[in-house]
Amino acid sequence: ASGPLVLGIETSCDETGVGIVRGTTLLANVIASSMDEHARYGGVVPEIAARAHLEALTPALTAALAEAKVSLHDLDAIAVTSGPGLSGALMVGVAAAKALALSLGKPLYAVNHLVGHVGADVLSGEDVEYPTIALLVSGGHTSLLLVRDLVSDVELLGETIDDAAGEAFDKVARLLGLPYPGGPQIDRVAATGDPAAIRFPRGLSQPKDMDRHRYDFSFSGLKTAVARWVERARDAGEEVPIADVAASFREAVTDVLLTKAVAACRDRGVPRLLLGGGVVANARVREVAAERCAAAGIELRIPPLSLCTDNGAMIAALGAQLIESGHAPSDLSFGADSTLPV
């Protein structure tokens, strides 16, 4: 393996990620999640996430160094997510990264979390080509990007105007009485349901939405539609067909995600689609992505799931790419920016 040895730190949401790469070679990817601590609240609680990062970061760092069989002194640089994400959570990673960089005398690169998801692809071991459209779907974000160059030209085409896709899964699971996180639960229950049983709305897909919101997403109307449907059934004393509701909901989310992603590929003449984020674990999302990309002649790229969900290796990989393309390190005065643009 060749290239710079980079440590990456990711604390933007509920995963404490510490990864180490050499160039485009993955050496370590340690992830500690505080998911369980948020379960009884039905979603990530920022204060709990921040405290959990503080506790998990040093053990994760030690584990990553052991996994990569390197010492802190061997590092060429450190990269850290400076945003977007939860402010308090980001601050833990940023403070730790600055302390390491200062004490070790190593350059520090502040990187964007969403671009980090795109950067994960370079660790696939295959040649990665640009431009690509990237669809990033998790509990915290739902974004459609046009990536012409990983380190210098990333354009946000659209994003959710309300809930993230994963958040919608979590909320709908909750109203169906399924535990948190809801995505995997809905996916499991939906496997035996009829996706055509109920026609749920596809947010921002009407002709009137196509001017301003062609590549944006909205899931709160869908969530409300599911809630109303379930409520009506319960009021009528009917048994709620949970599998059909889950399958129909999953179909609506999947349809709108892939319709917009494929439209972006087509409109921009980009024959490549990269998926990232925890929702990529969804069986139907993967299936429909494969079908529609094949039909449209689009190359579909899906990194392994451990690199799709939030992790430090993707941040390290982006840091290594920045170094190799000659970017200067960040000035240590940067802070955590919860709304950092790409």
Confirm whether residue 138 is marked as ligand binding.
Answer: yes
Confirm whether residue 150 is marked as ligand binding.
Answer: no
Is residue 187 at the binding interface for ligand KG4, with CB under 6 A as the rule? yes
Question: Which region among 18-26, 163-171, 220-228, 292-300 touches ligand KG4 (by CB under 6 A)?
Answer: 163-171
Closer residue to ligand KG4 in complex, CB, 33/330 = 33
Question: Which region among 102-110, 220-228, 274-282, 314-322 touches ligand KG4 (by CB under 6 A)?
Answer: 274-282
Is residue 45 at the binding interface for ligand KG4, with CB under 6 A as the rule? no
Identified binder of Zn ion from the candidate list 11, 138, 185, 254, rule CB under 5 A: 138
Is residue 309 at the binding interface for ligand KG4, with CB under 6 A as the rule? yes
Question: Which region among 18-26, 124-132, 136-144, 209-217 touches ligand KG4 (by CB under 6 A)?
Answer: 136-144
Q: What is the largest CA-CA distance in the chain?
A: 68
If binding means CB under 6 A, how many residues of this protein chain bind ligand KG4? 21
Identified binder of ligand KG4 from the candidate list 121, 170, 216, 244, rule CB under 6 A: 170
Smallest distance from the beta carbon of 338 to Zn ion, in angstroms? 13
Backbone angles phi, psi at 160, to 5 degrees: -70, 145
Order of strands, sheet of 142-149, starting from the edge strand that comes earlier in the sequence: 153-159, 142-149, 132-137, 272-276, 299-301
- Residue 261 burial (10 A CB sphere; 0-12, 13-18, 19+): buried
The bridge status of strand 153-159 relative to strand 132-137 is unpaired
Is residue 193 at the binding interface for ligand KG4, with CB under 6 A as the rule? no
**DSSP assignment string, 50-64:** HHHHHHHHHHHHHHH
Q: Which residues contact 268 (CB under 8 A, 6 or more apart)?
A: 131, 133, 146
Task: Tell me the one-letter amino acid at 92.
Answer: V
3-state DSSP call for residue 299? strand
Binding pattern for the stretch 86-125 against Zn ion, x by CB under 5 A and - elsewhere: ----------------------------------------
Half-sphere exposure of 235 (CA within 13 A, CB side): 6
Smallest distance from the beta carbon of 47 to ligand KG4, in angstroms? 16
Identified binder of ligand KG4 from the candidate list 119, 158, 166, 303, rule CB under 6 A: 166
Is residue 158 at the binding interface for ligand KG4, with CB under 6 A as the rule? no
If binding means CB under 5 A, how many residues of this protein chain bind Zn ion? 2
- Residue 212 burial (10 A CB sphere; 0-12, 13-18, 19+): exposed
Identified binder of ligand KG4 from the candidate list 109, 169, 200, 219, rule CB under 6 A: 169
Is residue 10 at the binding interface for ligand KG4, with CB under 6 A as the rule? no
Quick one: CA torsion of 112, 289, 169, 140, rounded to 10 degrees? 0
User: What region, left, alpha or beta, does residue 270 occupy, with left being phi > 0 and alpha being psi -120 to 50 degrees?
Assistant: beta
Confirm whether residue 310 is marked as ligand binding.
Answer: yes
Identified binder of ligand KG4 from the candidate list 116, 278, 303, 319, rule CB under 6 A: 278
CB count in 10 Å sphere of residue 321: 26
Distance between CA atoms of residues 183 and 163, nearest Å: 14
Contact set with Zn ion (CB under 5 A) = 138, 310
Contact set with ligand KG4 (CB under 6 A) = 13-14, 138-140, 166-167, 169-170, 181-184, 187, 277-279, 281-282, 309-310
Per the annotation, binding residues are 113, 117, 136-140, 170, 183, 187, 282, 310
